[in-house]
Chains A and B, each alone.
Chain A
Amino acid sequence: MKALKKESRNPTKNGTKIQSAVDRLKTGIEGFDELFGGGIAKGRGLLVTGTAGTGKTVLLNEFLYRGIQSFTQNGVFVTFEERPDDIIRNVSSFGWDFSALIEQDNLAIVDCTQQSVPVLQSGEFSWDVLISRIEKMIKRVDAKRVAIDSIGTAFVRFSQVVDEQKVRELLFLLMDKLKAMNVTVMISGEKTARDAALSRYGIEEFVSDGAVTLELHSGQNKTIRIMSVIKLRGLDYRSGKVEYEISPSGLTVFPKIPVDINVAETNFDVRLKTGINELDQALRGGIPQGHVMLIAGNTGVGKTLLGMQFIYQGLNDGEKCVFVALEEPIQQILKTANAHGWNFEKYQKKNELIFIREGLLDISTDQLLYRIVRAVERINANHVVIDSVSSLESSSMDRNKVREFLIQASTFFKTRGVTCYMNYLSGDTFGAGVGQLLGSLTTNEMRLSSIVDGIILMRYVERDESIHKMLNIFKLRGSDHNRNILHYEIKRGGIKLGERFKAK
């Protein structure tokens, strides 16, 4: 990442990587700027298309609101769609007080909706009144951002009176004027479900330098919102589709994390303690820093506990930790921890431990990843436990997305030197028969094995008419380790590792 930045600052002459002269403008909308690789093109137009209900107007409103609140950049809203009163009322549900902003001259709304009087066109005319009104408003509040809502309604409103060519002319003139004034513009455009093309009125592409499309998809239990950048003249952007959400505080985009496969802040010589002395010995000192460990085992075998022990050890060593609890409620985890004598709440209050809990219906891997990244970055965590990946798999609609999530997550962890446990429920046990101690790995574990750096198998085994628990370090990249199958027991205070398991 550092190398990339340097390169773009000093573009080479024969340049494969010459950065354009376009500056970026941070919108301040959560996750939105990352999607555009740091912001949208400054002084240009961005087209926002989507069907009804996708949140185009929310995006436009938030663009102006964040500009005023976070960057002291004032805004002008040009509306062909909703009346100013309706806009003010609608955004108040997000806690944005537009009337106050208008009063303080931070914001102005140019109302182009009124048309109570019958109008006819007879001969030539110019749009000067409207254009100069918008221009005056921009100058009055010294606006840096302008939102226009929307191309479609401008056509609907005016094409009854004037021919479509004149409406096109209006939008061209307006965008030209705005560009000359060096303001950054977001303009919305309608899209019907059947329209494949970006452009509906044949001008969308010409009035904008970039385009973002909003879509709605129905999941099994909720609606999934997808955003994608279609084009961005002169600037790089993150390709692909990302999820977004409209929450009571506005819009949140969950961009995929940039995967820079060349960066790894890992150091195999630095070992992290697992919280179990015998296991540390078996690992020849602990888990190598930056390793992603897969903890695989059947239900009740102690995977969650192993993760909790790792976290508790980390906290005691003064490290920051994130626990992703997909299996059980946080309260339950805290109770279990207390039963073992581990006070997690203390660290939670000190902001050294963050729990992430996600509902398991139609779980969004993009959102989850985004929350993990935010949490890790916020407290600078270097211990992460994901409990568990299998619940993610069973609750996600798309298995490929889970794999994508794991790759993204583990790459992100490596770029920061974060050590991670990923718990994985597998029904497989050690072979029950004599001489068949290690059963076959399930295909899922094999599938995950390329993503992870280490695998610890935790298994039940039936011997002497009782159930024993066995553990094996199956894989540990870049390090020697004990290859035996080891007994363990769960007691107060956590997992106790015992003798080597001997086959009879």
Chain B
Amino acid sequence: MMDKKNKSSIISRIKWEFVLYIMEDSVASMKAESTLRQICDRYLSGQYKLTIVDIDDESAQIPPDIYAVPTAVRIFPRPEMRVIGDLSAISKTLKGLGLEELQLLNKINSDI
């Protein structure tokens, strides 16, 4: 069985990938972007890639099942997960992006 510290370091070594669909000049979109960056910095120790896609950008490929802005999508690791909204409900955001476990581990680590 793997000890906690080991598991945490493995997870944090994974390169996480997110896409955030936004609309320029929208308060919710700006809020979502800064919140997502904060979360990533805090729990993923900077090991992530975040792509911002403006839905009004003609060249952008918007998947047909994206309905709302802002929508945050976890591309990697699989499976894909999504959260729509400005991400202000932190625990829901973490749950929706599959980061709950990290939050827990982080807490334990800081306790040690």
In the assembled complex, 10 residue pairs joining A and B whose CB atoms fall closer than 8 Å, in A order, are A119-B83, A120-B83, A123-B86, A124-B28, A125-B28, A125-B84, A126-B68, A129-B67, A130-B67, A132-B56
In the complex, per-residue mask of B53-69: 1 if CB is within 8 Å of any chain A CB, else 0: 00110000010111111
Residue A165, interface by CB 8 Å: no
Contacts of A161 in B (CB 8 A): 84
Contacts of B81 in A (CB 8 A): 117-118
A124-B88 in contact given A119-B82, A119-B96, A129-B62 (Cβ < 8 Å) = yes
A122 touches B85 (CB 8 A): yes
Closest chain B CB from A50 CB (angstroms): 27
Contacts of A119 in B (CB 8 A): 82-84, 96
Closest chain A CB from B65 CB (angstroms): 4
Contacts of A123 in B (CB 8 A): 28, 31-32, 85-89, 93
- Residue in B21, B26, B82 whose beta carbon sits within 8 Å of that of A120 in the complex: B82
Nearest-CB residue, chain A, relative to B95: A120
B85 touches A125 (CB 8 A): yes
Residue B80, interface by CB 8 Å: yes
Residue A128, interface by CB 8 Å: yes
Contacting chain B: which of A107-115, A298-306, A308-316, A490-498?
A107-115
Closest chain B CB from A103 CB (angstroms): 18
Residue B92, interface by CB 8 Å: yes
- Residue in B55, B87, B88 whose beta carbon sits within 8 Å of that of A132 in the complex: B55
Nearest-CB residue, chain B, relative to A126: B69
Nearest-CB residue, chain A, relative to B81: A118
Contacts of B62 in A (CB 8 A): 129, 133
Q: Complex formed: what's the CA distance from A132 to B95 in Å?
A: 29
Q: Complex formed: what's the CA distance from A132 to B86 in Å?
A: 19
- Residue in A114, A121, A129 whose beta carbon sits within 8 Å of that of B69 in the complex: A129
Interface of A is mostly: loop
Closest chain B CB from A213 CB (angstroms): 30
Residue A436, interface by CB 8 Å: no
Interface size on A, residues (CB 8 A): 23
Within 8 A of A (CB), among B18-74: 21, 23, 26, 28, 31-32, 55-56, 62, 64-71, 73
Chain B interface bracket (under 10, 10 to 19, 20 to 34, 35 or more) = 20 to 34
Closest chain B CB from A418 CB (angstroms): 57
Contacts of A116 in B (CB 8 A): 65
A129 touches B89 (CB 8 A): no
A117-B65 in contact given A122-B96, A125-B84 (Cβ < 8 Å) = yes
Closest chain B CB from A133 CB (angstroms): 8
Contacts of A120 in B (CB 8 A): 82-84, 92-93, 95-96
Contacts of B55 in A (CB 8 A): 128-129, 132
Q: Complex formed: what's the CA distance from A123 to B56 in Å?
A: 22
- Residue in A111, A115, A117, A128 whose beta carbon sits within 8 Å of that of B68 in the complex: A128
Going nearest first, the 10 A-B pairs with the smallest beta carbon separation are A120-B96, A123-B88, A123-B86, A123-B85, A114-B65, A130-B67, A122-B92, A122-B89, A122-B85, A122-B93
Closest chain A CB from B51 CB (angstroms): 16
Nearest-CB residue, chain B, relative to A116: B65
Q: Complex formed: what's the CA distance from A111 to B64 in Å?
A: 7
Given contacts A120-B83, A129-B68, A162-B68, 10 further A-B contacts (CB under 8 A): A114-B65, A116-B65, A117-B82, A120-B96, A123-B87, A125-B68, A125-B70, A125-B71, A129-B67, A133-B62
Within 8 A of A (CB), among B79-112: 79-90, 92-93, 95-96
Contacts of B32 in A (CB 8 A): 123
- Residue in A121, A124, A133 whose beta carbon sits within 8 Å of that of B92 in the complex: A121
In the complex, per-residue mask of A397-431: 1 if CB is within 8 Å of any chain B CB, else 0: 00000000000000000000000000000000000
Contacts of A132 in B (CB 8 A): 55-56
- Residue in B23, B71, B85, B95 whose beta carbon sits within 8 Å of that of A124 in the complex: B85
- Residue in A121, A124, A128, A130 whose beta carbon sits within 8 Å of that of B83 in the complex: A121
Q: Complex formed: what's the CA distance from A127 to B28 in Å?
A: 12
Q: Complex formed: what's the CA distance from A161 to B23 in Å?
A: 21
Q: Complex formed: what's the CA distance from A133 to B65 in Å?
A: 11
B84 touches A162 (CB 8 A): yes
A127-B68 in contact given A121-B92, A122-B92, A122-B93 (Cβ < 8 Å) = yes
Q: Complex formed: what's the CA distance from A111 to B86 in Å?
A: 25
Contacts of A115 in B (CB 8 A): 65
Contacts of B23 in A (CB 8 A): 126, 128
A124-B86 in contact given A115-B65, A119-B96 (Cβ < 8 Å) = yes
Q: Complex formed: what's the CA distance from A122 to B70 in Å?
A: 10
Q: Complex formed: what's the CA distance from A323 to B90 in Å?
A: 77
Contacts of A162 in B (CB 8 A): 68, 84
